[in-house]
Chains A and B, each alone.
Chain A
Amino acid sequence: NSKVIQTPRYLVKGQGQKAKMRCIPEKGHPVVFWYQQNKNNEFKFLINFQNQEVLQQIDMTEKRFSAECPSNSPCSLEIQSSEAGDSALYLCASSLAGNERLFFGHGTKLSVL
């Protein structure tokens, strides 16, 4: 069973509102990923970190999305101004290295009304 903890489990926001979700990676895992899974089961990579440093991120992440993994605090993903198309399951995962086995949390299901 995964030891990646994501909160909250569900998040409901109005359009234009901020949406913030958190992730505690598995202990000892320095690499953290965020993926978005839409209702059609399409997964989209958003961003990944090694410790506190961003390794890679997509263009979408650079504009309305912000993420961080501060030391000694949960990682977070925040959408500055939510849009209906952001409604999805946001999955956090961690691993020992970027190309190693990935362990996912339960996800945060975001609904933007």
Chain B
Amino acid sequence: GDKVKQSPSALSLQEGTNSALRCNFSIAATTVQWFLQNPRGSLMNLFYLVPGTKENGRLKSAFDSKESYSTLHIRDAQLEDSGTYFCAAEARSNYNVLYFGSGTKLTVEP
């Protein structure tokens, strides 16, 4: 089964609105990273998390290792936020290897 379940698979937002993406882990995740992939394929690292919370501008991410989930909150969505978001977790059972979610395709509309 999926080690990392990401939801939703697709999301459409109006500019200026807020939303949240979520990943649930069936592995003992030790760290989590969030990436944004643009249509050309480039993956940009948004966050690297140990258990806890980080914020960067309009983005905020949390990782709860005990409850095995991570979230990415997008505030005041802008057109340039469009793309596919991936979470990825490192597992205690296999250090250095990331297990990726299946992605959330976000479309921000004017």
Contact = CB atoms under 8 A, between A and B. Distances in A.
A48 B84 CA distance: 25
Contact of A101 (B30, B48, B86, B97): B48
Interface stretch (B17-25, B35-43, B57-65, B72-80): B35-43
Interface of A: 1-2, 31, 35, 40-43, 45, 48, 55-56, 89, 91, 93, 98-104, 106-107, 109
Interface of B: 30-31, 33, 35, 40-45, 48, 84, 86, 88, 90, 95-98, 100, 102-103
Contacts, number: 58
B98 A45 contact: yes
For the residues of B in contact with A, the DSSP-based class is strand
B42 A107 contact: yes
A31 B97 CA distance: 12
A48 B96 contact: yes
Given A101-B33, A101-B48, A106 B41 contact: yes
A99 B45 contact: no
A100 B48 contact: yes
Given A41-B84, A41-B103, A104 B95 contact: no
A104 B45 contact: yes
Contact of B41 (A1, A99, A109): A109
Q: Which of B30, B96, B97, B103 is packed against the most chain A CB atoms within 10 Å?
A: B96
